[in-house]
Structure 1
Amino acid sequence: MSDRSTPLRSALGNRQMTMIAIGGVIGAGLFVGSGKAIGSAGPGVLIAYLGVGLIVILVMRMLAEMAVAQPETGSFSSYASRELGPWAGLSVGWLYAYQWCITVGFEAIAGAAIAHRVLPGIPSWLAAFVFMAVLIAVNLVRVANFGEFEFWFALIKVVAIVAFILLGLAALFGLVPGFHSPGLSNFTDHGGFLPEGNTAVLLATLVVFFSFFGTEVVTIAAGEAVDPVHSVRRGMNSVVWRILVFYIGSIFIVLALLPWNDNKVTQSPYVAVLEKLGIPGAAGVMDVVVLTAVLSCLNSGIYASSRMVYALGKRGEAPRLFARTNQHGVPVAAVLLASSIGLVTVVANYFVPTEAVFTFLLDSSGAVAVVVYLCITATQFRGRRRLDREAPGSLTLKMWAFPYLTVLVGVALIAIIAGMAVNSGSRRSLLLTLLVTAITIVAGVIRQRRSTTASAPESTLSTSEGIQ
């Protein structure tokens, strides 16, 4: 196979792109991770979800501006290379791919834990291996397979979460037989709205950022969409209601119906609510839904990470091997690399308890999402300034209130990093993130300098030939 291998196929239809956009944000971070966030911050966790949700909405609007103007498989990594320099594109691209690789491992272990709970005879490591093997195979065949699996996964998630919210609202208004509505008393009782203080809310933002990761996948998929501009525009415009309904809405229902410090809430908040409402087989129903969400994110993670690595390979910011595709336009080497950490995690889960693996994955990925969003913010700021000078009026979709909101988001992201630095509970995770970030930046700078040095003799030679 040469570098002139079959290009990526434009095979993702509007139906699939719509569900990739809508369902991409719903994963184990919502169904499982939210319990940890609630347990650490109490009702005040809503502040973390609202604050991070607002930041994500604004960052996605910036990304939409760039993606609609120029849809690319590399998305914000390609834009960063263009606006900030190849070092930035390489850095953010590898950071993003790394974050998704970690997420793939996280989702595989989460799904295995559910399978083991439902069928105790199946070891969790074996279930994780089966999930990984099946979805690696799905991503290796053709992109249409990924799109179709993701469509049905996302549809199940969306229907389930909407049904949960509607049922919860009915319970709050006293319309569920046998359930006495607590009103909003659970927000003030049991220690008040901020029972663990403001610091706990800050710590919860890490879990929340991890939960929101995936909102941007539709811009990665744009390079293989049949109608990329329309799909990206519609998908990114839906970010606001997706976050408000799926996250803020469902977390509000959980906190309103049950005390935040109930052990069942911290372990599995959605199951706890359904059991409280007397829904038969609640645990089994939610296990199916959560498993679907987990497999969806696992599927998206392999796809998003592999396509980012592919884009890096195309630009020469990763080995050219990762830019090669098979006859169906699938970057096989990139898919295998994207799956590698997940497979290593499966092996680790054989020797180490699941909870220990969870903790390690969360700590090792740390605040990578914050760094990625900060790079998107800087890229959009620089790119918009350039376009306003060179081609004013050329953008068909724009960031709101530029440059004020862009600057505000940048300041907020830096403030979150600073807050993590001064807090002992998040410092280790931040240091790991900064270490990984520093490694990618150094690699990017070295590569950029080598490229500049290599091109300099060629330029000199061309000039000399011209004089002769």
Structure 2
Amino acid sequence: MIGLSGALGTGLFLGSGSVIAYAGPATIISYLIAGSFALAVVWALAEMVSTHPVAGGHGTVAASYLGRRGGYVARWNFAIQSLVAVGAEVTATATYIRYWFPEVPLWAGAIGCAALIMAFNAFSVHLYGSSEYWFSMIKVVAAVAFILLGLALILGMVPGRAPIGWGNLTAHGGFLPHGILGVLAASCMAVFSFGGIENVSSTAAESENPRRDIPQAAQAMIWRIVIFYLAAVTVVLALQPWTKTAAQGGTIEESPFVRALALSGVGPAAHVMNAILIVAALSAANGCLYAATRMIHALAVEGQAPRIAGKLSANGTPRGAVVVSLFGVGIAAVLSITAPDSAFMILLGATTVAILITWCLVMATHLKFRRDRAAASLPLAKRRLWGAPVVNIAVIAACVAIFVALFWLMPLAPLAGIPYVAALLGSYELLNRIRNLPAPRDLLAEELAAATEEKER
């Protein structure tokens, strides 16, 4: 459920406008390309965390195989990625609210929505779980309903309305209005939509049967991409000319989904869809905040984060980590005040850079994971990433290429990304010198010791 919350949110419902602007109808191919990379990352994660179902998920596994420095960067980058994503989601929610109330300042809506989801995470795990269950249920039903309604309009199954048909997929410049370069550029932008898939590893330690449950979650991701991304985006592109659906002038003022329904003459449906998108964005923010606070709490327990983040409430909620997470909300609030027209796109770019770093570290960890297990003569997992190490290298190369492409697409994001990575590495060196951080767990040695003990019984 947490993985679904992170992967099905603003990246699709709002961010798709910027993707469509670059590729037009070929956005379908762009999402397929970005989704293929995301699936490879998910399967690498599933293989590792189902073998090592430990608290901290892929961050703990990264520390074990890449060393203390690699684990520190992986975990802090993921936490920051999630927090900035929270800022993007609440900014998107405020954008949806302005569809009805354009006079409401973007910053006011963002702060109000942030306060709501922080309350869900701060007071009890039960409140978070209940809210997230209903949030996720509503947005899944909404996505399916949108696809069905869109297909009915396209195929002429709505009484009194002529069929729209599929002509918009090839009109207005053709299926590839900006050529292959447009598709590749849009693929870079589409990466943001798949941020949050890493959350599938965050609950591995709590799963009753991680060897079964985690691979099943990875398998389910395939259908989510097909149904919620490819099908939904295809319907959006078919309902109206892509030139009307795309983001205009580098800014996004409303959801392409709402715009498509409104321009199709289904006014009430557009308003209902906008309400549901508010729920979808809150759900994604809720899931990202949950994952971030748990990661920050785990870092604090190990002395790698502010001590306040290690404090728990009486009911076991990491309220200290929730307080630290105000960082992401603060960024969103400042941008909403100083650059309201481009706040969401700035946050999208920053999150994309963090996602690329996470994906590179996951694939690098998986390479070392496979190599060390082969050296120890351990068998491959039954459900694993196929095509390794070629797929690993391909994904890492693609992430580097996307980062370079961002210099032209979103110059601020990579320019900030380089000092950001330097700051992560520098903070590790400083913290290690001050606190002399302990060595990470050797998960492979623990597995071999457990196997030896089992044989001796």
TM-score grouping bracket, smaller chain normalisation: 0.7 to 0.9
Q: Is 1:310 matched up with 2:297?
A: yes
8 A contact 2:168–2:240 mirrored in 1 = yes
After TM superposition, the structure 1 = structure 2 runs for residues 389-468 of structure 1, keeping only pairs within 5 Å, are 389-390=375-376, 392-393=378-379, 395-421=381-407, 424-447=408-431
TM-score, normalising length from structure 1? Answer: 0.84
Residues in 2 aligned to 1:204 and 1:431: alpha-carbon distance in whole angstroms:
20
Match of 1:381 among 362, 367, 375: 367
1:76 and 2:33 aligned: no
Whole-Å separation in 2 of the counterparts to 1:69 and 1:146: 28
Give, in angstroms, the shift of residue 387 of structure 1.
1.6
Q: Hey, what's the Cα distance between the residues in 1 that align with 2:40 and 2:438?
A: 39
Shift of 1:97: 1.4
Q: Distance in 1 between matches of 2:385 and 2:312?
A: 35
Q: What's the TM-score, normalizing by structure 2?
A: 0.86
* Secondary structure of residue in 2 paired with 1:24: helix
- Residues 306 and 338, structure 1, Cα contact 8 Å, conserved in 2: yes
| Native 8 Å contact 1:20 1:218 kept in 2 | yes
Distance in 2 separating the partners of 1:264 and 1:398: 38
CA contact (8 A) 2:6 2:285 kept: no
Measure the CA separation in 2 of the matches of 1:276 and 1:298.
28
Query: Structure 1: 5+ residue runs without aligned partners?
Result: 1-18, 456-468
> 2:91 corresponds to which residue?
109
In the alignment, what sits opposite 1:251? 233
Q: Which residue of 1 aligns with 2:46?
A: 64
1:303 Cα shift? 0.9
Name the counterpart of 2:271: 284
The change in CA–CA distance for 1:228 and 1:149 in structure 2 (over 3 A counts) is farther
Which of 163, 181, 184 is the matching residue for 1:202?
Answer: 184
Paired residues of 2:53 and 2:205 also in contact (CA < 8 A): yes
Q: Which amino acid is the alignment partner of residue 417 of structure 1?
A: F
Structure 1 residues 59 and 344: CA distance shift in structure 2, 3 A: closer
Tell me which of 332, 355, 371 is aligned to 2:319: 332
- Counterpart Cα distance in 2 of 1:268 and 1:418: 28
For residues 91-110 of structure 1, what are the structure 2 equivalents within 5 Å? 91-110=73-92
**Percent of aligned pairs with the same residue?**
33
Please give the secondary structure, in 2, of the residue aligned with 1:329: coil
> Could you tell me which of 203, 207, 220 is aligned with 1:238?
220
Q: Structure 2: 5+ residue runs without aligned partners?
A: 249-253, 440-457
**8 A contact 1:217–1:304 mirrored in 2:** yes
Residue 434 of structure 1: how far off its partner (Å): 2.2
1:310-337 Cα shifts (integer Å, max 9, x gaps) = 2222333323432332222222221111
- 1:367 and 2:353 matched: yes
Candidates 249, 255, 260, aligned match of 1:268: 255
What is the Cα deviation at residue 175 of structure 1?
2.3
Report the count of equivalent residues.
434
> For the Cα contact (< 8 Å) 2:22–2:182, is it kept in 1?
yes
Distance 2:438 2:363 in 1: 31
Alpha-carbon contact 2:153-2:164 (below 8 Å) kept = no
C-alpha distance after superposition, 1:419-459 (max 9, x if no partner): 445xx33443222122211221233355557777999xxxx
Q: Which residue number corresponds to residue 459 of structure 1? A: none
Q: CA deviation at 1:98?
A: 1.4
Paired residues of 2:294 and 2:321 also in contact (CA < 8 A): yes
